[in-house]
Amino acid sequence: MQFGIGFAIIKFVVDQFGTLQGWNFAELAFLYGLSVLSHGVSVVLFVQTWYLGYLIVEGDLDIFLLRPLNVLFQFLFMDFNLVGLTDLIPGTIIFIYGCNQLNFSWSWLSFPLLLLVIIGGALIRGSVWIVLGSISFWRKNRGSFVVLTMQLYDKTTMYPLSIYPKALQMIFTVVLPLGWIAFYPAGYFLSKPSPFYFPASIPLITFGIGIICFLGACLMFWLGLKRYESAGT
């Protein structure tokens, strides 16, 4: 329902305003479907990070410290969200719809590049959740930023990044690289002009940024864990 409504909103916007910065409805469907695919993978792998603040404040990370394994590794794999796989269904449907409407021609190289984009996008999403959850090591607050990040992801991956002012485009490209989740890769596959004229290897850049973001998030978690006060009185 969530993604169906999001897709309907895109159709409504296009019907009212025509194209969005040169992106028609079929291209937006391609963009949105690609975004939902990375969302589905990220929810499967990183859904437990939504509750990291609660575990920190309640001292429930203690159990992971008692085991001779990396704490973050244990935490990330303590749960496998099979329900998150259902998010891949609407993503696949919307993405295929966009491909069909565009008569998109796939080459043998397109599929591995698409896989790199989805993995890179999922890592970027998960890294943001890990960083925001790790803030609780300092704030001592179990508050979750899930709703905020979901809204942010929607606004930066549901529509072309080029509809925003240049300053925001730069922020979501360099500082908080959410534009690499779907906008730049979709532009690459559809041969759309890039606002900042990036090189042709955009899928590889997305994957690389995903790896860098994830390593940075791991560092943030490790630094926070050194401040962890456990569940003692």
- Reported as a single tens digit per residue, the pLDDT across 40-89 is 999 888 888 888 888 888 888 888 888 888 888 888 887 777 777 888 88
Beta bridge partners of 20: 23
Query: What pLDDT shows up at residue 232?
Result: 57
Sign of the CA dihedral running 221, 227, 232, 233: negative
CA dihedral 189, 193, 194, 195 (to 10 degrees): -160
Residues 206, 35 contacting (CB under 8 angstroms)? no
Mean pLDDT score of the chain? 86
Among 232, 223, 231, 233, residue whose Cα is nearest residue 60: 231
**pLDDT band at residue 201 using 50, 70 and 90 as cut-offs:** confident
